[in-house]
Structure 1
Amino acid sequence: MSPRRATSGGLIDRSRSVRFSFDGQDFAGHPGDTLASALLANGVSLFGRSFKYHRPRGVLGAGVDEPNALVTVLRGEAREPNVQATMLEIHDGLKVVSQNRFPSLGFDVGALNQLGGKLLGAGFYYKTFMGPVFGPLKGTRFWMFCEHFIRRAAGLGKAGVAPDPSRYERMNAFCDVLVVGSGPAGLIAARAASQNGARVILAEQDARLGGSANWSGASIDAQPSTEWAAGMVRELSAMPNVTLLPRTTVWGYYDGNTMAALERVADHKAKARPGEPRQRHWTIRAGRVVLATGALERPLVFPGNDRPGVMLASAAERYAGEYGVLPGDKVAVFTNNDAAYRSALALREAGCRVVAIIDPRETISEQARALAVRTGAEILTGRAVTGTEGGKTISGVRMQVFDAASGAVSGDPRTIEADCLLMSGGWSPVINLASQAGAKAEWSERLQAFLPPKDASGWVGAGAFNGAFTLAEALAEGLAAGGKSGSETPDVAGDELEVAPAHVLEIEAAGKAFVDFQHDVTADDVRLAHREGFQSVEHLKRYTTLGMATDQGKTSNVSGLAIMANALGRQIPEVGTTRFRPPFAPVTIGALAAERYGEIRPERVTPMHDWHLARGATMYSAGLWHRTMIYGLPGETVEQAYVREAKTTRETAGIADVSTLGKIMVQGSDAANFLDRVYTNMFSTLPVGKARYGLMLREDGLVLDDGTTWRLGEQDFLMTTTTANAGKVMQHLEYMLDVVWPDLKVQLTSVTDQWAGASIAGPRARDILAACVTGTEVDNETLPFMGIVYGDIAGAPVMICRLSFSGELAYEVYSGAGHGTHVWEALIAGGKPYGLVPYGLEALGTMRIEKGHVTGAEIDGRVTARDLHLDWMLSKKKPFVGSMMMDREGLVAPDRLQLVGIVSLDNRPLNGGAHIVEELDRDNPHGSIGHMTAACYSPVFGRHIGLALVKGGKDRRGTRAFISDPLRKRFGPVEIVSHHFYDPEGKRMHG
């Protein structure tokens, strides 16, 4: 028999044993045990060490509110830290280790931090590490000296670096009613809703539906039997319109009743079934949400309240009732409300000796006194615990007379021998999800707790969540939440016990009294924050770290607020409360990623992607797109490949995949008017069957994007954008239509993925196209520059526009995406007699630099049309987006960065990002007048050239400067020239 296991009772399976290890020592438990209950049954009282002082800590709670018993689970080489022992079900082979200790849990050298005393109080890191260092390190900040050691000490558990072998899943679900919590209110709400024909999902964070054996946290007074709960669960399981999700924590409440939940599918198993995930992440969209999340018991704040063996009364009751575990042989109870009296009686009936019940109230209710008498305990009202005794576990409790009016203790202390102290500071409804939904908490003076607001949208509360702490109230509210009348409340037996207000939360006496157990925040820390001016609850939280640990202040928030309110001389509602944020409970990162592990970046490929790969293309990312860099031949370098491709294109012909260009259909009776407003130049005068180059500004007058727009019909336009800015331009256009000009009759449709595009460029481009296309001529008269024609290539319909990005005679051929590879291969075959080569972005970039065309490298969000020498596109006949702001003084200054060409005078490579300087200083680079935006080796000129943005660039043409690139150790002379290197008159592309 385990040292603390009761001879009978509990819902565990005593017929079987489960073997597990904790810190390398083997233990045994039973199916149904959590790690916490199994270790308690084996007589283990020390579970961990606190964050700052490394104080010994035992189990405080029995569920999701546990701040102390955090462990690391080992799964092969993988580690999962900061797992609550109270939520971890044991299984054969489970291996866990304690955290935040060295060299062992029993002997931790970090406990020396306790000698620091007040030096390690609230805000010590702000005060200590910001000062200067004296001596040999004089002149440096103390933080810089200590940072390495501080970061090594930070945190509780240590994350692993080995890949997680577990499998995770995602699930999307839709329901009419989502019920969160399976206490009495949740069960009855789910049944009522399902009987009304609603599709219902019932989520419960614990392994057992129906709540714990004693129903603590669901309805803390009158309790229905476990048989009643089991019957309800069986009834719901048989309903086809009900989905039951045990071991599922609803952790986030988002817009539109979208709920995030984590299901622990196989955490309690020694080995998952084939294909079964370890955890499953649910996104649930509900028509209505019923929050039956219950309430959590609060600890009391007094010296020594963190010693192992001190725990919440409801937790001890649950360990006895659900797991058959006795928290101690001699139990003392310290409570400021009636609920703990029932817990005391439950422990007495389970086999514990209750030696004393200590209550700071002078008088207690008759119901509470009757329960106390049945425990056989000494009843000590008007008394308060002022300390605990013992080493790494409790051996005694000190108490004194307490004056509720003044909050002071007096008289000689008395010590009561006890190996377990149960405390209860009242109950806090779990309103976290409602707070996430935007609800502002309301303070209840009667219950001394924050309650959800009375008016809610999309959700309804029931049971202890609403402060309804009697069974009759819980069942009535559950029925109403499920859509049935309270007159149908079932007759469920249970004693009614009054919940008295829990006004007393702190006992001021000598010694460390902890408010936040995990972060070692004491009552003195809260008062220190007040003295130092941190009086807002948000400032208090951040200065002291109160409520910022993994438990998110579930046990500490109200006590901290009460102490701050007392220091301010105000009431708790005047001080307020911080807003709860998701997640409600810790969520595994693997579950959030689910199947999206490894390379999870979205990828986009063109219809011809496989063709490129099969021809040896080297790909790289352009935003989300995979685009061809080069089609390298064996033994070629990148530079040799793109020089060959660009040179061949200029001499004969080349073909490039341009499917990635953004393509937006702009349609409607006001389409032309809309384009006039968003472009700097005129589009309403554009004839049908023609294209025009357009420039788009932001509202602040800076350049947003450029591209061509084709008029396909009187009310139909096809706008093209740069690859990188397609999404940004679409958002800009939609904003203008939705917010600025909602009266315009215009429809926008992104068709980027619907079209495959190929650009044929070079002197023989027209010959190749003529050999491939049918149904139209492509001569200069039929298809002039910026003209559009329609035809067929190899039986596939195509649309052809004559425009050029390379500076050569060029055409863009568009087909449906499904025909993309077919048309591409037909063009390749038709161009073979003419020496056609496919070319990638490196060659395309080389030709565009030679021509002086701008891309995203130059349109960086800081340039104007004038900076790029595109002021000829600024219409003087109409207003347009950005026209009111583009002439601001700073945007027309003569020393602005302007686009220029750069030629390397030492004919060594140039690099994008390198600075341009007037005077070269290798040892102290300074005096930048601009920077390179793009660079290449030009096969036309046989030189290394590039584009740059340089201060007053237009006036510097023909002058010399220097490249200063200290990171790549590249320095050398350059000449600043016009950005139009190649065919500035445009004869080749217009020919």
Structure 2
Amino acid sequence: MLKNLRVTTSKYIDETSRVSFKFNGKSYFGYKGDTLASALLANGIHLVGRSFKYHRPRGIMTSGSEEPNAIVQVNNNTALTEPNVRATELEIYHGLEANSQNCWPSVNFDIGGINNFLSPLLPAGFYYKTFMWPANFWEKYEYVIRHSAGLGKSPTVPDPDIYDHKYIHCDVLVIGAGISGIIAAKTAAKNNLKTLLLDEKNEIGGSTIFQNSDHIKINDQNSSVWLENEINELRNIENLEIKTRTSVAAYHGYNYLLARENLTDHLPKNEKNKKVRQRLLKIRAKKVIVATGSLERPLVFNNNDRPGIMLSSAVKKYADYYGVATGQKNIFLTNNDTAYESAISLQKKGIKVEAIIDIRKQSKTAFTKEADDLGIKVYRSHTVVNTEGYKRINKITIMELSEDGQSFANPEKIELDCDCLAIAGGWTPAVHLFTQSGGKLKFREKDQVFIPDIYSSAQISIGSCNGDFDLDDVIKNSTKSLKEFLNINETEFDNLEINCPKDNKIRNIWLLPSDKVLGKTKPFVDYQNDATAKDIKLALREGFRSIEHVKRYTTTGMGTDQGKLGNMHALGIIAETAGVKMGELGTTTFRPPYTPLTFGTIVGRNVGEYFDTFRRTPMNDWHIENKAEFENVGQWKRAWYYPKNNETMHEAVQRESKAARNSAGILDASTLGKIDIQGTDASEFLNRVYTNAWSKLAIGKCRYGLMLNEDGMVYDDGVTTRLDENHYIMTTTTGGAANVLGKLEDYLQTEWPELDVYLSSVTDHYATASICGPNSKKILNKLIPDLDLSDESFPHMSFKNTKIGNIKCRIMRISFTGEHSYEINIQANYGEDLWKKCMEAGKEFNITPYGTETMHLLRAEKGFIIVGQDTDATMTPIDLQMDWIVSKKKYDFIGKRSLYRSDTMKEDRKQLVGLLTDNPSEVLEEGAQIVADTSLKPVEMLGHVTSSYYSPNLNKSIALAVVRGGKNMLGQKLFIPMENKNINVTIVDPVFFDKENLRLNA
């Protein structure tokens, strides 16, 4: 009996709990446990959206995460809105509001549907050709294209939901809670292994073809009864944690996996408040068992995309699990026996099955025999050649196939009425996570599937994701594999008696024939992106052969479903058309996430003020007390300048820089990256990392180094000090510390694993106060009276270990200002005390704290570069006029070969120079372009200004710039075109102040 399209009672749905929800503004009712898809089908709604390209009507096709059509916008026009949510995965709740996507003004009447009539003008790749002409018209097209792209609408306000991250470690991770997953989890947990079982559904047990079948017996029990008993026992096993509504998104190396756990999406609106919505699980497992099952394939024929055309397994699941009849006149189209099982299940529930269309010539199994006994009409060796119905299918046309399946045995057409066409094209193992892990596949010719072959980590695949599609094979092969994988002798599943019908022959015809020429048909392969079989054949005619190239040309598999249903058919059509074997084509790349993740889940709690860490130096409180203004450098809060008496930044910087040059200045340099380098190969390591030589650097000495990328471009710089024979400490730029450490570790682990070198980040271990200026030696002498500061005992670019009071410290005589300078490094918790002692000792010399802006000015006067400001990843040391730092004797270092490429040796590359304005008081804008002639149109740009300041020590403005061929243009006049005028400049040497370096030893 059918009642409101509901089958009489389903134990998985709570019919005592009625749930109200809205779809496209209209109110409907479902039951607790329904997905939006099952609830809509129960209300007779099949049309739920429009396809991306042609805006064709599309309906619910599947019952799981592979759904390509039924994707909706949830909670539209609110802060909680979310696009591209699969109706098949969204559990309904009180207050749910969902809307169709990619349609206007409504899903029933969509203006975009005109594209369907224009489809002959919009073949695959048309955009690559159409939008190339007329020349320079891209900006005309861009506006329309940008507004046509996408399916749903992105949120425009901050997400109020709460997201979380959690780390989990386990002995065994089991992915998928179908029959094979349950066997694996139970076996592992009962052998004292800490086991985690994950499944994306709200209940474990899976949705396989094995459930609720009278034909499948285990120990003389119905398979579904046996499975239910196993599930009940599973819930009470120690060492086992089960997480439902949890989808594994990514499988990375060394068994590190990411999974999204849905915690509140299924709850009523009033129960969601201030609860964590989704949690990203970061899982590290010793061993992984993949039991992700398989996906039913569709069949490709003309107009195979109408609402009401669904997968056979989905039709069965909606009836068995949700108690919903997807149609009242159901027809099945199949190439294997699983459609018979679905049809039999429906017929026994009182849901009318009009016919089964079987493309096979014959099949004599328990399923086909029972279908005959139930009086279900079967058309053997027939196929569907067309379907009719706009908002929902209402009729199909079938014809008898020829022997080879590529044409027809006779011209007779048979028309059949139906409101649901269930299609069954066989099964594709869900190998996505396996390949993400780095595993390699092999092709099994007999049933044309890709299955796992070479494992990249401690993992196995079992069940139908490993190509076992019969229940006895699933249990027997899974049990055997588990014993070997977990190193156990026996399991409770070794001696199960399984009675499972076999001999399920599949007839694979990747593109079913039509009574029309291909150009007049629409056989869809990718339902979301409207990629058809003729698009794939067009790509082959135009010279594409690689599956990856065909994918991009036709957009097959590039939708939010990642081609879970269509990719195998695309491969089959390419193979048949090109005359190659499918196994030789390989597959497209399966990229994470397996199913879409919200940005909230990825970010977790790191939003708003928690988006990034604020790092503060040990002297930060002193800076605040003394009214410092701060700037963000990397993650650090750095003192920018110290205004006094309402000074502007310019006034404060002028005062600070004059004080540093005339008497003494002090800078908080604690933020510089510091990497401790130890090991017997430390010197050799630095030789390979830096452009200059390091083996002969004496203990107690410091050296400036420049680090390049493989392309020869400057990456980072800093001073490295030799503390002992096999011990160095490297300093890096503030913002580059983490990247440099990561780069160096990468080289040690992948390129030079033979080197005995160990790296440790010690940036936070030390506080650093840098004192510079003519009186810096006197101040340090007051701090440490017993320390010999003579040039002979303590020369420039050297260090000493000493004490300030009873506290150990390391003092380096290095300078970034060109002044006589000392950097005092001390244990971080003594940093503020050190700073105060320095200020007290320097009081009689008017010691002046200065910030990063003054530091930039002081170094610019000396022509010192700042990596990231004066460089932009396109500058070599030669471009920076730093040839002196590139060793001519060393055999090799990172980037050396790239320095001698023809393009990096060109004389007209952009090179670092100094600029002086004709008007000394006129300060250039950083980033301003530099030209030689303003009369030419368009104006040729020669370079740009990288650093620009007014120097009170020189009483004029100065600037650093990169100019094409600049080092051979000294004295030449150029122009800086501004909005209202041109500024005249002269190219000069980049060192403006104390070119003889007399002040370093003053």
Task: Tell me the SS of whatever aligns to 1:394.
Answer: coil
Aligned to 1:241: 239
1:212, distance to aligned residue in structure 2 (A): 3.3
From the superposition, tell whether residues 182 and 742 of structure 1 become closer, same or farther in structure 2 (CA, over 3 Å): closer
Aligned to 1:657: 668
- The answer to whether the 8 Å contact 1:202/1:245 transfers is yes
Structure 1 position 498 matched with structure 2 position 475: no
Structure 1 position 489 matched with structure 2 position 489: no
1:244, distance to aligned residue in structure 2 (A): 0.5
Task: Tell me the SS of whatever aligns to 2:342.
Answer: helix
Aligned to 1:789: 800
Aligned to 2:472: 472
- The answer to whether the 8 Å contact 2:365/2:502 transfers is no
- The correspondence for 1:542, drawn from 532, 552, 560, is 552
1:424, distance to aligned residue in structure 2 (A): 1.0
Aligned to 2:268: 270
- The answer to whether the 8 Å contact 2:365/2:504 transfers is no
Aligned equivalents of 2:148, 2:885: Cα separation in 1: 61
1:795, distance to aligned residue in structure 2 (A): 4.6
Write out per-residue CA displacement over residues 396-422 of structure 1, whole angstroms, 9 at most, x where no aligned residue: 332222224242233321222322222
- The correspondence for 2:117, drawn from 115, 120, 128, is 115
- The correspondence for 2:594, drawn from 576, 584, 596, is 584
Aligned to 2:152: 157
Aligned equivalents of 1:118, 1:220: Cα separation in 2: 48
From the superposition, tell whether residues 428 and 807 of structure 1 become closer, same or farther in structure 2 (CA, over 3 Å): closer
Aligned to 2:427: 427
Write out per-residue CA displacement over residues 823-854 of structure 1, whole angstroms, 9 at most, x where no aligned residue: 11222233234322210111112222223333
From the superposition, tell whether residues 795 and 371 of structure 1 become closer, same or farther in structure 2 (CA, over 3 Å): same
Aligned equivalents of 2:466, 2:259: Cα separation in 1: 22
Task: Tell me the SS of whatever aligns to 2:856.
Answer: helix
Structure 1 position 279 matched with structure 2 position 278: yes
Task: Tell me the SS of whatever aligns to 1:30.
Answer: strand
Letter of the 1:108 counterpart: D
From the superposition, tell whether residues 701 and 459 of structure 1 become closer, same or farther in structure 2 (CA, over 3 Å): closer
1:686, distance to aligned residue in structure 2 (A): 5.2
From the superposition, tell whether residues 9 and 986 of structure 1 become closer, same or farther in structure 2 (CA, over 3 Å): closer
Task: Tell me the SS of whatever aligns to 1:278.
Answer: strand
Aligned equivalents of 1:889, 1:353: Cα separation in 2: 76
Gap regions ≥5 residues in structure 2: none
Task: Tell me the SS of whatever aligns to 2:505.
Answer: coil
From the superposition, tell whether residues 353 and 722 of structure 1 become closer, same or farther in structure 2 (CA, over 3 Å): closer
Task: Tell me the SS of whatever aligns to 2:295.
Answer: strand
Structure 1 position 944 matched with structure 2 position 957: yes
From the superposition, tell whether residues 970 and 560 of structure 1 become closer, same or farther in structure 2 (CA, over 3 Å): same
Q: Which moved more, 1:26-35 or 1:734-743?
A: 734-743
- The correspondence for 2:995, drawn from 968, 979, 984, is 984
Aligned equivalents of 1:894, 1:147: Cα separation in 2: 38
From the superposition, tell whether residues 672 and 327 of structure 1 become closer, same or farther in structure 2 (CA, over 3 Å): closer
Aligned equivalents of 2:734, 2:358: Cα separation in 1: 72
1:859, distance to aligned residue in structure 2 (A): 5.4
TM-score relative to the length of structure 2: 0.90
Structure 1 position 964 matched with structure 2 position 959: no
Aligned to 1:364: 363
Write out per-residue CA displacement over residues 418-439 of structure 1, whole angstroms, 9 at most, x where no aligned residue: 2222221111121212222233
Give the RMSD, CA atoms, in angstroms. 3.3
Write out per-residue CA displacement over residues 742-769 of structure 1, whole angstroms, 9 at most, x where no aligned residue: 7665544443222111111223323332
From the superposition, tell whether residues 718 and 569 of structure 1 become closer, same or farther in structure 2 (CA, over 3 Å): closer
Aligned to 1:902: 915
Q: Which moved more, 1:120-129 or 1:652-661?
A: 120-129
- The answer to whether the 8 Å contact 2:213/2:224 transfers is no
Write out per-residue CA displacement over residues 299-330 of structure 1, whole angstroms, 9 at most, x where no aligned residue: 12222322222211111111111011111222
Aligned equivalents of 2:27, 2:170: Cα separation in 1: 45
- The answer to whether the 8 Å contact 2:12/2:322 transfers is yes
Aligned to 2:58: 57
Aligned equivalents of 2:423, 2:897: Cα separation in 1: 69
Aligned to 2:40: 39
- The answer to whether the 8 Å contact 2:49/2:71 transfers is yes
Letter of the 1:359 counterpart: D
- The answer to whether the 8 Å contact 2:429/2:465 transfers is yes
Aligned equivalents of 1:885, 1:715: Cα separation in 2: 30
From the superposition, tell whether residues 79 and 822 of structure 1 become closer, same or farther in structure 2 (CA, over 3 Å): same
TM-score relative to the length of structure 1: 0.91
- The answer to whether the 8 Å contact 2:976/2:984 transfers is no
Structure 1 position 926 matched with structure 2 position 940: yes
Residues paired across the two proteins, number:
981
Gap regions ≥5 residues in structure 1: 133-138
Aligned residue runs from structure 1 range 123-522, under 5 A: 123-132=125-134, 140-141=136-137, 143-212=138-207, 215=210, 224-271=222-269, 272=271, 276-409=275-408, 410-453=410-453, 457-483=457-483, 485=490, 488-489=493-494, 491=496, 495-509=500-514, 510=516, 511-522=521-532
Write out per-residue CA displacement over residues 790-849 of structure 1, whole angstroms, 9 at most, x where no aligned residue: 443365332223333223332211101121122112222332343222101111122222
- The answer to whether the 8 Å contact 1:300/1:424 transfers is yes
Task: Tell me the SS of whatever aligns to 1:182.
Answer: coil
Task: Tell me the SS of whatever aligns to 2:7.
Answer: coil
1:909, distance to aligned residue in structure 2 (A): 0.7
1:872, distance to aligned residue in structure 2 (A): 5.5
From the superposition, tell whether residues 879 and 85 of structure 1 become closer, same or farther in structure 2 (CA, over 3 Å): closer
Write out per-residue CA displacement over residues 561-612 of structure 1, whole angstroms, 9 at most, x where no aligned residue: 2233332344433444323222222222211111122363454432223332
- The answer to whether the 8 Å contact 1:204/1:249 transfers is yes
Letter of the 2:950 counterpart: Y
Aligned equivalents of 2:398, 2:902: Cα separation in 1: 76
Aligned residue runs from structure 1 range 537-576, under 5 A: 537-576=547-586
Structure 1 position 973 matched with structure 2 position 981: no
Aligned equivalents of 1:147, 1:859: Cα separation in 2: 32
1:527, distance to aligned residue in structure 2 (A): 2.6
- The answer to whether the 8 Å contact 1:213/1:322 transfers is no
Aligned to 1:136: none
1:392, distance to aligned residue in structure 2 (A): 1.8
1:454, distance to aligned residue in structure 2 (A): 6.7
Letter of the 2:452 counterpart: P
Aligned equivalents of 1:876, 1:300: Cα separation in 2: 66
Structure 1 position 98 matched with structure 2 position 112: no
Percent identity, please. Answer: 41
Structure 1 position 841 matched with structure 2 position 852: yes
Task: Tell me the SS of whatever aligns to 2:731.
Answer: strand
From the superposition, tell whether residues 746 and 39 of structure 1 become closer, same or farther in structure 2 (CA, over 3 Å): closer
1:452, distance to aligned residue in structure 2 (A): 2.4
- The answer to whether the 8 Å contact 2:254/2:457 transfers is no
Task: Tell me the SS of whatever aligns to 1:20.
Answer: strand
Aligned equivalents of 1:176, 1:590: Cα separation in 2: 29
- The answer to whether the 8 Å contact 2:189/2:238 transfers is no
Aligned to 1:712: 723
Aligned equivalents of 1:865, 1:507: Cα separation in 2: 63
1:268, distance to aligned residue in structure 2 (A): 0.6
From the superposition, tell whether residues 891 and 114 of structure 1 become closer, same or farther in structure 2 (CA, over 3 Å): closer
From the superposition, tell whether residues 707 and 403 of structure 1 become closer, same or farther in structure 2 (CA, over 3 Å): closer
- The answer to whether the 8 Å contact 1:899/1:979 transfers is yes
Q: Which moved more, 1:680-689 or 1:973-982?
A: 680-689
Aligned equivalents of 1:336, 1:778: Cα separation in 2: 90
Letter of the 1:452 counterpart: P
Write out per-residue CA displacement over residues 540-562 of structure 1, whole angstroms, 9 at most, x where no aligned residue: 21222122211111221222222
Aligned equivalents of 2:882, 2:547: Cα separation in 1: 55
Write out per-residue CA displacement over residues 280-300 of structure 1, whole angstroms, 9 at most, x where no aligned residue: 111222222212111111112
1:129, distance to aligned residue in structure 2 (A): 2.7
From the superposition, tell whether residues 495 and 451 of structure 1 become closer, same or farther in structure 2 (CA, over 3 Å): same
Aligned equivalents of 2:395, 2:629: Cα separation in 1: 75
Aligned residue runs from structure 1 range 739-888, under 5 A: 746-773=757-784, 776=787, 778=789, 783-793=794-804, 795-856=806-867, 857-858=869-870, 881=893
Write out per-residue CA displacement over residues 366-413 of structure 1, whole angstroms, 9 at most, x where no aligned residue: 323322124321122122222223342222332222224242233321
1:442, distance to aligned residue in structure 2 (A): 2.7
From the superposition, tell whether residues 530 and 822 of structure 1 become closer, same or farther in structure 2 (CA, over 3 Å): same
From the superposition, tell whether residues 437 and 773 of structure 1 become closer, same or farther in structure 2 (CA, over 3 Å): same
